[in-house]
Amino acid sequence: MNAVIVGAILAVAAVILVALPFLREPAAADDRLDIRTPDEERRLALIEERDHALAALKELEFDHRTGKIGDDDYRQLVGPLRRAAADALASLDGNARYGPRMTQTTMIEAPTPAPVPEPYPPPDEGTPPTPAPVPEPYPPPDEATPPNPPQIPPP
């Protein structure tokens, strides 16, 4: 008999718990799930892209500092990664400035990219390491001004 009573109490408690959201708000003004809009999702994708790009830059710096990557490889990789980070930041900035309906391509071509802020920490890292002394030449070859042509003495 006791078991039946305990069972009944258990069932009633379960029903109350399940019905609780409806008991608390019998007539909710807004019963929609607070899901993100497509525009918010698009911005989230841009933020994710930005974080990936900045995390990749930090990872490259760290790999360079720990000797996993040589100076030549570093110079080749750092330029494209910086551009990718700047593009991602510009896209995000353009998205905020010109409204959420901007396409990503348009945003990348936004006229004045925002100043690059401090790198966003990568997904699982905290304080960024002290920036490495970047080897010569700096900026990397693909970003640097082309060297002057050699002076040819007149005949």
> Are residues 98 and 107 in contact, defined by beta-carbon separation less than 8 angstroms?
yes
Q: Which residues contact 116 (CB under 8 A, 6 or more apart)?
A: 85, 86, 89
> Are residues 132 and 64 in contact, defined by beta-carbon separation less than 8 angstroms?
yes
Q: Which stretch binds another protein (CB under 8 A): 38-46, 107-115, 135-143, 144-152?
A: 38-46
Rounded Cα distance between 14 and 40, Å, is 37
CB-nearer residue toward another protein: 46 or 155: 46
- Length reported for the chain: 155
- Note whether 54 binds another protein by CB under 8 A: no
- Note whether 116 binds another protein by CB under 8 A: no
Q: Which stretch binds another protein (CB under 8 A): 68-76, 108-116, 138-146, 147-155?
A: 68-76
Rounded Cα distance between 75 and 141, Å, is 7
Write down the least CB distance from residue 108 to another protein, Å: 14
Q: Residue 60: which of 137, 52, 48 has the closest Cα?
A: 52
Q: Residue 41: which of 32, 49, 52 has the closest Cα?
A: 49
- Note whether 142 binds another protein by CB under 8 A: no
- Note whether 143 binds another protein by CB under 8 A: no
Write down the least CB distance from residue 82 to another protein, Å: 13
Contact residues for another protein, defined by CB under 8 A = 3-4, 6-7, 10-11, 13-14, 17-22, 25, 28, 30-36, 40-41, 43-45, 47-49, 51-52, 55-56, 59-60, 62-63, 65-70, 72-73, 77, 96, 121-127, 129
